[in-house]
Structures are given as structure tokens and as C-alpha cells.
């Protein structure tokens, strides 16, 4: 009744932005991401008949009551699905620098799902794992797989067709993702709250939904053709559109800071000089730059010259979930 798993973070090229069902984590739109090799979470789960409640240790320490509660609620969904009724000890280690602006919830809930299900002894498909991970955190749906991954929003209101599908395996297209960490005093609006406010109040949200299928189709075609220019133009435009929806919300908010703009401008300058690089931004001020391997060092050199850039993490396309010895 014990198992350990590793799952990697991912970066969305077509963003998940908005839920149509908050309990089942059903998204308003489909999304598409690259799983990253560099950042991951390792989690072990051990079910124990003797325990009277779940115990969650994060990075070696007993987690806060709030974190315990969240994990326990999620584990109960897995208990219901698998029919296992005992509590568990959960030990999770994050190898994700939160300062780089990668949510550890994607790798965290994907690793927890894989470890917990394996510990029950029940065999589930990756598709089933993806649907379970979704109910911990939306972006975790995609982290079950490596490579390029689509999370199909599905049509059914029971969530039975909302899961991830692998588009390209790790190794089928060698791209780089540079996570550019900027100096910041961010006041954080968590993505969960930000997307909810946007869906409920932003008049621009309908525009987001209107164009998402077109963006997704263009991006998938770019992947099939290995057309980097088309991939880059599509992903950058999609990120800008997501952020535009926040400006129309009530009250309005934005994730960008002046440091964010500096990085965006440098990427545009690089393109004017014939160096292809494109950016995407999540629910925070840091920027992720997508490029081909041959341009990686010149782009890093240029970004390093910005004095508000703290650190640049270079990521490659990463693997899906793996199981580890205890």
C-alpha cells in the first residue's frame, strides 16, 4: 500500500483560463502545453489502516492545516474512485523554484495522483490518471504525459471526456523554454481566483473563447509541421489575449510589472534582429521564452544584460510521470 512517483511541471502554449465547473475542474477551453524536464515533484503515498487522518509532509515538514485539508479532500476523491478507505501518509518534495513562476500544483497533483493510485494496487490508464489529477488542479491534467500535451475540455458535465492527450512525445521536437525570473515585489492574485473573476466579470472573456479553437488548431498544425515561426506567433498571441481578459475584469488586475515589459521588449528586439524567440506569461510577472536550441545562447546573453533579470532557467521538453523505488 505504498508507492512513489515523479511528475514534471508544464508550460501552457495555449492557456487554460476559466472553469465551467469548479468542483470537477472542468475548463471553459481546451489547452496545450509542453512538459518540462527541469522542474518536478516527487511524492510518496502510503495507506495505513491504523491512521485516523491523512498526514501530508511538504519538503520534509508537516504541511499547514490549509494544505493538509486540500490534499485530504483530493485524496478522498481517489479513495472514492478506487474504493480504498484508509488514510495515508503523503510525503512530497518539490524540485520547482516557486520564484521562477512555475506553479508546483501541476507537478504536485500529477505526482500525488500517480503515487496514490499505484499505492492502492489498482491499475488505471494514463487517461484515467489524467482525469483524476484534473480534480486536484487543472494544469496537473497535462503533467501526466511528457512532450506536447493537449487537455481536451470535453463536452460532458460529469467530466468523463475532459482529459489530456499526448500530441508529440518527448524527443520528437527539441525546443528550449527559458524561464526568466525577474526582480519583483509581486502581490499575487492566484490563478484560481484570477480566472474566476475574469470569467464572471470581463467583457473580453467572450473574445477569448471565440478565438481559442482557432489558436489551438493553428498551434497543432505548427506542431505537426514543426513550423517554429507559426508555433511562436500563435503561442505569444494566445498569452497576450489571456492577459487582455484580466484588464476588463471588475476589479481589473494585471500580472505584468515593468520588469515583465522589459523582457517582452527584448524578445521583440531580438526578432527584429532576425533571432526567433517568443514569450508566454502565466499568472505572475515572470516570462517564459520559447526558442530553438541553435538560438539559445544568444538569447540568454541578451536577456542577462537586463539588470532586473535575476535568473534564467533553461528547460527542455520533459517526460511524463515515472514511478520510483521507495
Among 26, 282, 286, 313, binds ligand 2P0 (CB under 6 A): 282
**How does DSSP assign 279-326, residue by residue?**
EE--SSS-EEEEE-GGGHHHHHHHHHTSTTEEEEEEEEB----EEE--
Which residue, 139 or 286, is less far from ligand 2P0 as judged by CB? 139
Which residue of the chain is nearest ligand 2P0 when measured via CB?
A: 138
Decide: is 191 part of the binding site for ligand 2P0 (CB under 6 A).
yes
Which residue, 94 or 139, is less far from ligand 2P0 as judged by CB? 139
Decide: is 102 part of the binding site for ligand 2P0 (CB under 6 A).
no
**How does DSSP assign 54-91, residue by residue?**
-EEEETTEEPPHHHHHHHHHHHHHHHHHHT---EEEEE
Among 104, 137, 162, 198, binds ligand 2P0 (CB under 6 A): 137
The widest CA-to-CA distance across the chain, in whole angstroms, is: 65
Among 9, 29, 30, 31, binds ligand 2P0 (CB under 6 A): 31
Decide: is 74 part of the binding site for ligand 2P0 (CB under 6 A).
no
CB of 184 to ligand 2P0, least distance (A): 17
Among 6, 25, 223, 260, binds ligand 2P0 (CB under 6 A): 25
Is the Cβ–Cβ distance between 78 and 116 less than 8 Å? yes
Cα–Cα nearest to 166, from 321, 29, 3, 2: 321
Is the Cβ–Cβ distance between 276 and 236 less than 8 Å? no
Beta bridge partners of 12: 33
Decide: is 139 part of the binding site for ligand 2P0 (CB under 6 A).
yes
Decide: is 192 part of the binding site for ligand 2P0 (CB under 6 A).
yes
Stretch that binds ligand 2P0, among 88-96, 118-126, 132-140, 266-274 (CB under 6 A): 132-140
Instruction: Say how far apart CA 148 and CA 223 lie, in whole Å.
Output: 9
Binding flags for ligand 2P0, 2-21, as an x/- string (CB under 6 A): ----------x--xxx----
Decide: is 39 part of the binding site for ligand 2P0 (CB under 6 A).
no
H/E element, 52 = none
Name the site residues for ligand 2P0 (rule: CB under 6 A): 12, 15-17, 25, 31, 103, 105, 137-139, 191-192, 282-283
Amino acid at each position: 500500500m505504498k508507492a512513489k512517483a515523479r511528475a514534471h511541471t508544464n508550460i501552457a502554449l495555449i492557456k487554460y483560463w476559466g472553469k465551467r465547473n469548479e468542483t470537477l475542474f472542468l475548463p471553459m477551453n481546451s489547452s496545450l502545453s509542453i512538459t518540462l524536464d527541469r522542474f518536478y515533484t516527487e511524492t510518496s503515498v502510503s495507506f495505513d489502516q491504523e491512521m485516523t487522518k491523512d498526514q501530508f509532509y511538504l519538503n520534509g515538514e508537516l504541511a499547514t492545516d490549509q494544505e493538509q485539508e486540500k490534499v485530504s479532500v483530493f485524496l478522498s476523491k481517489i479513495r472514492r474512485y478506487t474504493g480504498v478507505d484508509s488514510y495515508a501518509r503523503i510525503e512530497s518534495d518539490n524540485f520547482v523554484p516557486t520564484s521562477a513562476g512555475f506553479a508546483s500544483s501541476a507537478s504536485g497533483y500529477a505526482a500525488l495522483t500517480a503515487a496514490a493510485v499505484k499505492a492502492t494496487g489498482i491499475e488505471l490508464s494514463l487517461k484515467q490518471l489524467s482525469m483524476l489529477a484534473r480534480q486536484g488542479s487543472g494544469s496537473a491534467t497535462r503533467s501526466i504525459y511528457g512532450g506536447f500535451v493537449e487537455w481536451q475540455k470535453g463536452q460532458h458535465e460529469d467530466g468523463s471526456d475532459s482529459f489530456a492527450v499526448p500530441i508529440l512525445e518527448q524527443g520528437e521536437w527539441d525546443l528550449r523554454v527559458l524561464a526568466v525570473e525577474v526582480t519583483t515585489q509581486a502581490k499575487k492574485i492566484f490563478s484560481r481566483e484570477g480566472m474566476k473573476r475574469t470569467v464572471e466579470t470581463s467583457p473580453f472573456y467572450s473574445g477569448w473563447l471565440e478565438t481559442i479553437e482557432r489558436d489551438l488548431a493553428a498551434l497543432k498544425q505548427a506542431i505537426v509541421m514543426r513550423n517554429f515561426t507559426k508555433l511562436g506567433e500563435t503561442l505569444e498571441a494566445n498569452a497576450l489575449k489571456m492577459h487582455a481578459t484580466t484588464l476588463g475584469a471588475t476589479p481589473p488586475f494585471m500580472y505584468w510589472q515593468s520588469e515583465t515589459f522589459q523582457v517582452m521588449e527584448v524578445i521583440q528586439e531580438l526578432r527584429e534582429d532576425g533571432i526567433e524567440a517568443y514569450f508566454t506569461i502565466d499568472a505572475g510577472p515572470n516570462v517564459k521564452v520559447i526558442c530553438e536550441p541553435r538560438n539559445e545562447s544568444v538569447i540568454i546573453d541578451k536577456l542577462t544584460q537586463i539588470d532586473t533579470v535575476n535568473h534564467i532557467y533553461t528547460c527542455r521538453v520533459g517526460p511524463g510521470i515515472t514511478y520510483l523505488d521507495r
